[in-house]
Chain A
Amino acid sequence: MKKGTKLAIIGIIVIAAVFYLISTGFKQSGVYYLEVHELIKDPSKYDTKGIRVSGDVVDGTVVKDTKNQHLEFVMADGTGEKMNVIYNGIIPDAFTEEVQVIVEGKYDKDTNTFKATTLLAKCPSKYEAEVEKK
């Protein structure tokens, strides 16, 4: 075999590996990235993969038990659709009422409750704050 051909084969192998890894990696660990209303509308559609939902914490709904590291709140999105969220674990520092959160876990249709295994809190004003006239 010519040396040039051999080298070209390496390139092809690498590209094939890239495609293979992307597709299998994605199949196994890809997650749906949804907003609350999308999930509530048709939960069975997203059974096949993990789900990741983003939305806002509704004011006044947070029940926080720091001692037992238990957290409950209602999450809503722009359309106003809501669901309950339960989370056990260390509560992130950035978590407060009126923040944006991203939760990963399982959704139970009957009780409209999302059991979150991970909770990411992202304050929209975290690094970009609006100065308001007081």
Chain B
Amino acid sequence: MGNFGYLLQFLGLISSAIAVILFGSSMKKESETYDKYGTLFIHIQTILITLASIILMYALATGYFKIEYVAQYTDSKLPLIYKISGFWAGQAGSLLFWGWLIAVCSSIEAFRIKKYGLKYKAGVFFALSLSSGFFFLLTNFVTNPFKELDFFPADGLGMNPLLQNPGMLYHPPTLYLGFVLFTIAFAHAFSSLVNNDNSSSWVVKTRGWSILSWIFLTIGIVLGGQWAYVELGWGGYWAWDPVENASLLPWLTGTAFLHSAIMYERKEKLKIWTYVLILLTYELCIFGTFLTRSGVIDSVHSFGKSALGPFFIFFILITGIGFIYFLISNFKNMKEEANYSVVSKEGMFYITNWLFTALMLVILFGTTLPILTQLFPSKLSVGIPYYNKVSTPFFMLIILISGLCPLLPYGNSKMADIIKNLWPSFIFMVVATTLIYVYGYTKPLPLVLFAFTSFSLFTILLQIFRGIKRNGIGIIYRNSRLYGALIIHFGLVVLSYGVIASSFYNVSVDKVVAPGETISFYKYELKVGDLVIKEKQNYVSVYSPVKVYENGKYIITMTPERRFYNNNKEPFAEVSIHTKPQGDLYLILASYSKPENIIGIQAIFEPFIVWIWIGCAIMVLGGLHGIFQFKRK
């Protein structure tokens, strides 16, 4: 079975190579024949790799442990759904998964842009096939998911218990989808450069794809944060871990790209910025994979060390240099006059580009510091305080502008008009901040952050209401782009409140008690019950039922738990979380001892954390709303 899968994947690589050659030639001298066969080979590639993927999933699902990859990531007792998710749990499989996604997207794109010019198509599919081919090259020759062992193990090693979480089912696929879909916008950008066509047409053609990639990336990152939040030892929803940063970097440039593309499309401005941003986004997606796969950086989430590093670096250099070469040759077409004022929409978009890029740079610097300083006598690294410090000012300004920008007109505007529009928000900001202060939340930094966020919140809401008042509720559909954007910004503000509150005002307690005793914590009384031991499909569960009372009233029984998985000697903690709008109660079974009759509980109160997930959901809805453009009457 492994050899058959390998054969399919090898033929898949050949197909993408043929597509690269055919479209590459058609790029120079357009040819209908090349285009026809190139497209055919793209579809053949997709079919072959789809079949290969099905074989791998089948091997995983049925426990065909002769394939090394299957034996590494699954065992016979693993629940079926996690067996299948083994497809993207490991190095080799996830690279095949990635390549497969690009292939599928290429095929969809081949149908979608069938009628476009031959030369334009050639550029797009050249870049797409090159990308998918790169991943198949890796899975064929460097890390082969179909490699067979020369014996048939009785059972596999099983999946790491930390990965046996619903997060495993949603997080990697959405994140990868986000990465992959940006490839399409990149391919179009590349093609427009090769064809010296710097009109807004490529931006318009890929608008839906770009927003969709952004949506998936956003979901992927937040789901990852959610997963890290419930899994003990991953440092909460965001710990500035290199692997987390690796997914944030392309999100930052991708977000800037979406903004910049609006200017490109509407005002024929910030063109070079837009090209550079899509290039950065594409390369950072690849770079993120490199960071997590090469083993150059220590992270709690990373894959093992591997020989993949040089291949990624090589690929990034080749594609980067190629793109920049064509970009420079297009410079003369893109000269533009900076004839707008700073306090205008154009000005704000320009500043936005800078802010996102700057944020990306400071995070990139911190993340790659251990690599950069490897050459020096002592290797250096930075931790969470560095990231918090350097990113806060930029986040603050981004949030402020996210409220301000939609309010400003294009071109030049009178300062007096702007002030007239803004003063209600100022008043709201002052009132809200004072109230928070009076209620005892007096730490200065969160107070400032809160003020900025409140300013934006009110500005955004005011704009939505003013718009509806002037044009009726239908305006939300008629002008879905503007209102989609406003909804996204609103989601961002909601998310910010969650981040601010949970970062600065969480409280925790750590106590060892005998069963039956009560722990007083925050506004809760926690009555710790005796240990319960239960056998499950592939683990044994030990938990303590904790009765939670708030102000003397019984609320819920929570079950912080430890699981002993069959394949692991050590227990894994399964935290228990009780979510409410004002905050989560988070319980960990930190320790226990049957002979000594003790139970150790760590309790944490994370204020407003649920608003982070809600904010994200709002952003995603806003994005979806913005994709669909309703025809204006």
A→B interface (CB under 8 Å): 3-4, 6-7, 10-11, 14-15, 17-18, 21-22, 24-26, 28-34, 38, 45-46, 50, 52, 54, 66-69, 90, 92-96, 102, 104, 120-122, 124-131, 133-134
Whether A4 contacts B386 in the complex (CB less than 8 A), given A14-B355, A33-B380, A93-B570, comes out as no
Nearest opposing residue in chain A for B68, CB measure: A131
Residue of A18, A67, A95, A129 touching B362 (CB-CB under 8 A): A18
Chain B residues, Cβ within 8 Å of A94: 162, 233, 300, 570
Closest chain A residue, CB of each to CB of B232 = A93
Stretch of B5-13, B55-63, B317-325, B587-595 on the interface side: B587-595
The distance in angstroms between the C-alpha atoms of A67 and B299, with both chains bound, is 28
Give the A-B pair count, Cβ closer than 8 A.
162
Asked if B380 contacts A3 (CB within 8 A), the reply is: no
Pairwise interchain contact B350-A7, C-beta atoms closer than 8 A: yes
Would you list 18 pairs from A and B whose C-beta atoms are within 8 A, ordered by A residue?
A: A3-B338, A3-B341, A4-B338, A18-B362, A25-B386, A26-B380, A29-B385, A34-B378, A50-B383, A66-B593, A67-B600, A93-B233, A95-B570, A120-B300, A127-B91, A128-B303, A129-B157, A134-B153
Please name the 5 residue pairs, one residue from A and one from B, whose CB atoms are nearest each other, closest first: A128-B304, A4-B338, A33-B381, A29-B385, A66-B591
A11 and B512: CB pair below 8 A? no
Q: What's the tally of chain B residues with a CB closer than 8 Å to chain A?
A: 73
Given A18-B362, A67-B598, A104-B383, A127 contacting B389 (CB threshold 8 A): no
Interfacial residues of chain B within 343-360, with CB under 8 A of chain A in the complex: 347, 350-351, 354-355, 357-358
| Distance of A33 Cα from B592 Cα, bound (Å) | 34
A7-B347, A46-B378, A92-B233 given; name 7 further pairs at CB < 8 Å: A3-B341, A21-B393, A22-B362, A67-B512, A67-B593, A94-B570, A131-B157
Q: Which of B377-429 contact A (CB under 8 A)?
A: 378-383, 385-386, 389-390, 393
Instruction: Tell me whether A102 and B157 are in contact in the complex, defined as CB-CB below 8 angstroms, given that A10-B351, A67-B600, A128-B303 are known contacts.
Output: no
Residues of B within 8 A of A96 (CB): 569-570
Q: A122-B298, A127-B160 are in contact. Are A29 and B354 (CB under 8 A)?
A: no
Provide the bound-state CA to CA distance between A92 and B233, in Å. 6
CB neighbours of B512 from chain A (8 A): 67-68
Q: B389: which A residues are within 8 A, CB to CB? A: 21, 24-25, 28-29
- Do A17 and B358 touch (CB < 8 A)? yes
Taking the complex as formed, is B309 at the interface, i.e. its CB lies under 8 A from any CB of chain A? no
Residue on A nearest B149 in the bound complex, by CB:
A131
- The B interface, classified by DSSP as helix, strand, loop or mixed, is mixed
Given contacts A96-B570, A122-B300, contact A31 B382 (CB under 8 A): yes
> What residues of A have a CB within 8 angstroms of the CB of B162 in the complex?
93-94
Q: Which residues of A contact B361 (CB under 8 A)?
A: 18
Task: Using CB atoms and an 8 Å cutoff, list the residues of chain B in contact with chain A.
Answer: 68, 71-73, 89-91, 149, 151, 153, 156-157, 160-163, 232-233, 298-300, 302-306, 337-342, 347, 350-351, 354-355, 357-358, 361-362, 365-366, 369-370, 373, 378-383, 385-386, 389-390, 393, 510, 512, 569-573, 588, 590-593, 596, 598, 600, 602
Q: Is the CB of A30 within 8 A of B342?
A: no
Q: A7-B342, A25-B389, A131-B72 are in contact. Are A31 and B383 (CB under 8 A)?
A: yes
Query: Which listed residue, B347, B350, B380, B390, touches A22 by the CB 8 Å rule?
Result: B390
> Cα distance A30–B366 when bound, in Å?
9
Among A22, A38, A54, max chain B CB count under 10 A is at A22
Shortest distance between the CB of B145 and any CB in chain A (Å): 13
Take A4-B337, A10-B354 as given contacts and tell me if A127 and B390 are in contact as well, using a CB distance cutoff of 8 Å. no
Tell which of B305, B340, B370, B591 touches A33, judged by Cβ atoms closer than 8 Å: B370
With the chains together, A96 CA to B572 CA distance in Å? 12
Q: Which residues of B contact A67 (CB under 8 A)?
A: 512, 591, 593, 596, 598, 600
Which B-chain residue is minimally distant from A89 (CB atoms)? B510
Chain B residues closer than 8 Å to A125, beta-carbon distance: 304
Contacting B591 at CB < 8 Å: which of A69, A127, A130?
Answer: A69
